[in-house]
């Protein structure tokens, strides 16, 4: 059974750094792209980016490039999303999700339960 289990909710101050995690199980972690999706309060989903754990190839949405870093540790089947300096506007629910295959057409077939990030002074 495919499972993506995310780290718990975080409350941070503006300017602080943060790294959240997503541990995959039940499939070959290195063979599928895994990425992140943002959901701001009361809004829809936005694609942040993805990483291919097999070779660490990473793709970002232009809206998030330079704002976050996506990484993965193959040894523990875990993907990460990190910020070096949080802003209040980063407050959102962040979901990890894996692509269905290693090649197009891609779509997210399994999702994590979400990690709520609250940034407030």
Residues of this chain that bind another protein (CB under 8 A):
4, 37, 43-47, 49-50, 59, 61-62, 95, 97, 100, 104-114
CB of 9 to another protein, least distance (A): 11
- Measured from the CB atom, the residue of 15 and 102 that comes closer to another protein is 102
Q: Which is nearer to another protein, 72 or 96 (CB)?
A: 96
What is the chain's length? 121
Provide the 8-state DSSP code for 86: -
Enumerate helices (H) and strands (E) in the chain, giving the number of each: 0, 11
Q: How far is CA 104 from the centre of its chain?
A: 20
Distance CA 50, CA 52 (A): 7
11 vs 85, which CB is nearer to another protein?
11
The least distance separating another protein from the CB of residue 106, rounded to whole angstroms, comes to: 7
Q: Residue 29 Cβ, how far from another protein at the closest point, in Å?
A: 17
92-99 and 34-39 beta bridge pairing: antiparallel
């Amino acid at each position: 059974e495919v499972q993506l289990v995310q780290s718990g909710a975080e409350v941070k101050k503006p300017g602080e750094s943060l790294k959240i995690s997503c541990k995959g199980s039940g499939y070959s972690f290195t063979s599928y792209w895994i990425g992140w999706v943002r959901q701001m309060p009361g809004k829809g989903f936005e694609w942040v980016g993805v990483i291919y754990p097999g070779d660490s190839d990473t793709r970002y949405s232009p809206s998030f490039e330079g704002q976050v870093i996506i990484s993965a540790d193959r040894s523990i089947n875990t993907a990460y999303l990190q910020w070096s300096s949080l802003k209040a506007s980063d407050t959102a629910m962040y979901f990890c999700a894996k692509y269905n295959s290693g090649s197009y057409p891609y779509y997210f077939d399994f999702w994590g339960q979400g990690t709520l990030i609250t940034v407030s002074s």
